[in-house]
Amino acid sequence: MIISGWGRHPKVICKVVKPKNIQEIKRSMKFKCIARGNGRSYGDCSLQPKLTIDTKNFKEILKFDKKKGIVVVQPGILLKDLLKFIVAEGWFVPVTPGTKFVTIGGMVAANVHGKNHHNDGGIINFLNYIKVLNHKKEMILCSKNKNKKLFYASVGGMGLTGIITEVSLKLKKIFNSYIDQEIQIETSIENLLKLLKKKSKKNYSVAWVDLANFSSSKVNSITYFGDHSKNPNFKLKVFENKFSKLPNLFNYLISMIVINSLVLKIFNFIYFVKNKYFFKESTINYNKFFYPLDGLKNWNLLYGSKGMIQYQFILPERTSLKGLKKIISFIKNNKMYSYLTTLKFMKKDPGNLSFPIKGFSMTLDFPASEKNLNLVKHLDKITEEFKGRIYLAKDARMSSDFVNKQYNIKKFSNFRAKIKKENYFSSIQSERLKI
């Protein structure tokens, strides 16, 4: 069958199996393979033509300690389903990406990060243990203290050390289902970076950046800060998206709205002005704060039939200002028009292939046109010039030479050489990058 990541680029014919239990996984492991969750990574990291193992049948909550806030789950459970279960009991996930439609196994494989990374780091910091099924079909329990080399290679390892079959996660205590949100406006990249550092004690922060505005000199931004509310008047409640129960056709038709540079400029202008003059502080439910894009089920269709490239890079703190200025100037001069641009302050994470270092990370969304595919190669050069790196969970087109300059691929590959058998766990991405 033809499958792809969320970016819909590339689309690949893969043999896909959907086992119902561990024994069926073991029986299917006759070729090199890769595990796949809900397909929400953007590129080709969960695609293997010879054998792609769909893990969504493994969706059970195995244990839940309500007092300590520890949950043990199978890898295929969706974040949205876990939230339904734990929020009502006064707990929240310690780290969340911008969508609920990811699997917990996928979150671990990508060492997912969120709006609180500058304080708490990625999900690796909240794992009690994981279980990994290796190429010998052995189940290995690993943690920061036990089989720790496998642990640090597997979390963020993009599924290349084995199939994650169980996850034990420490949760975050909450008193209600709301976030106290504060909004601040900036019109220069210098002030935006200063703001993110100045207010780093806020639990959550992310900046929306307008790179399509009518001014060539201004970089308008809206930064959203948030903390879990402790207001006793609010209750614990599970929130769903407005469109979640509407027919898929309705979502599809909305997603077919044509976006061009003029539409994007007008939309961004209205969005900026609305937030600048009408919103400063508010208390909103966690759904609106963390998952606004989930309200449109098929928003990835907005980028056209060729799909999209999500280009997420991070630059060290010391080079961030100069590097971001050069990247923003290149984007504006070449009229690349990122549909959605965000910026976050992050700290360094452990893990062999973990993306975060201490610095500023920007996410750019482009249609996967031939023009943009060529232009992002220049963004690679700027990222390399300023000692940055690109997130593997978003990548669909990096070269092996480039990734070797960003990550300690040799260390990771040497470890894999000790545990693998002829690249047993392998994706199109790992083959392209020669990991």
**In the numeric block, which tokens belong to residue 369?**
């046109």
| pLDDT value, residue 244 | 45
Q: Is residue 118 scored above 90 in pLDDT?
A: yes
Q: In what order do the strands lie in the sheet with 61-65?
A: 61-65, 70-73, 163-170, 127-133, 139-142
Q: Is residue 50 scored above 70 in pLDDT?
A: yes
CB atoms within 10 A of CB 155: 30
| pLDDT value, residue 365 | 96
Contact 9, 44 (CB under 8 A): no
User: Residue 84: what are its φ and ψ, rounded to 5°?
Assistant: -55, -35
Contact 204, 227 (CB under 8 A): yes
Alpha helices of 79-116 — where are they, by DSSP H? Answer: 79-86, 104-109
In the beta sheet, which residues pair with residue 359? 316, 346
Q: How confident is the model at residue 101 (pLDDT cuts 50, 70, 90)?
A: very high
CB atoms within 10 A of CB 159: 30
Please write the tens of the pLDDT for every residue from 348-396. Answer: 999 999 999 999 999 999 999 999 999 999 999 999 999 999 999 999 9
Q: How far apart are the first and last CA of the chain?
A: 25
**Mean pLDDT throughout 93-101?**
97
pTM of the model: 0.94
Please write the tens of the pLDDT for every residue from 230-271. Answer: 999 999 999 987 654 445 555 555 555 556 788 888 888 888
Q: Is residue 414 scored above 60 in pLDDT?
A: yes
| Of residues 435 and 241, more confidently modeled | 435
Amino acid at 145: N
| % pLDDT > 70, the chain | 94
Distances (CA, A) of 376 to 213, 332, 382, 390, 409: 20, 13, 10, 12, 22
Please write the tens of the pLDDT for every residue from 148-184. Answer: 999 999 999 999 999 999 999 999 999 999 999 999 9
Q: Is residue 215 scored above 60 in pLDDT?
A: yes
Q: Which domains does the chain have, with CATH numbers?
A: 56-174 (3.30.465.10), 178-397 (3.30.70.2520)
**Mean pLDDT throughout 268-281?**
85
